Structure 1
Amino acid sequence: MDRADAFPATARLVLVYNADGGLLNAVKDAVHKAVRPATYPCSLCALTYGWAAMHSDWRRFLFRLPLEKVFLHRDEAAKALGGTQLDLPAILLDAGAGEPLVLVSAAELNAMQHRRALMALLLERLEETGVLAL
């Protein structure tokens, strides 16, 4: 089977943050990122969010992708992904059946220094899967 056939038009991009959801946790995380950024555990959040909001270039990039986007915190991920265990943070491609495909792993995100590099890598991976024809 061709890789493009493996991911239907209903495939979703799932971004899973290594942080818990909720307003109190968001405030705590913002302070942590500001005071001790080197020890902040979510590289995906550190790359793509400022103090309180998603960086505008990342937001534009994501919402131009022709996929549904799902944003999950670690406390929501196991339930939403059917108990799938994975290292966080991660960016996944979920076709709705079976385990989601890891597009960008925790190790890759943790080593990443710039959003532009993340955007390029994500486009490359989506093209490799056949979801995007660039």
Structure 2
Amino acid sequence: MNRLIFVYNANSGMLNGLLDSIHKIVSPDTYPCSLCSLTYGYAGMRKEWRSFIQELPVEAAFLHLDELPSHLPPAEYPCAFLQDGDRARLLISAGELNACTSIEELKTLVLSKIKGNVG
């Protein structure tokens, strides 16, 4: 079974989340995680993104840098991998995610990448 694994360019935990939120407010242009910026508001995951993820034809998971399992190949973050069993390959690069300027662009990118890659 396929699984889409999104990896944030951030660490997990409440303190890190608080610091990330402050960084997004104080200096949004230097915030290092475009995936976080697009999919999270100040109060949590955006409803539009949550609904989109739930409707995908593949299970989606979200990890932080400090939660990465050893089977994921090295990459620049944020990014997304397509996992099939024990194997995972890069599906969406950091450059592609960083180029998205809206949640609509991100949704289009995700759909275009999983089309033909998920059976």
TM over 0.5: yes
Once residues 28 and 20 of structure 1 are traced to their aligned partners in structure 2, the CA distance between those partners, rounded to angstroms, is 10
Shift of 1:68: 1.9
Percent identity, aligned pairs only, is 44
Residues 24-51 of structure 1 deviation map (CA, whole Å, 9 limit, x = unaligned): 0000000100110000000100011101
TM-score between both structures, scaled by the size of structure 1:
0.83
Q: Which of 73, 85, 89 lines up with 2:78 in the alignment?
A: 89
Cα deviation, residue 122, structure 1? 0.8
Which of 100, 109, 116 pairs up with 1:121?
109
Structure 1 runs of 4+ aligned residues shifted over 4 Å read none
Q: How far did 1:66 drift?
A: 2.6
Task: Quote the Cα distance in structure 1 between the aligned partners of 2:60 and 2:113.
Answer: 16
Q: CA RMSD in A?
A: 1.3
> Structure 2: where are the runs of 5+ without partners?
none
- Per the alignment, in what secondary structure is the counterpart of residue 42 of structure 2? coil
* TM-score normalised according to structure 2 size: 0.93
* Higher Cα radius of gyration: 1
One-letter identity of the residue aligned with 1:49 = Y
Q: Does 1:60 align with 2:48?
A: no
Aligned match of 2:5: 14
Structure 1: 5+ residue stretches without partners: 1-9
Aligned length: 119
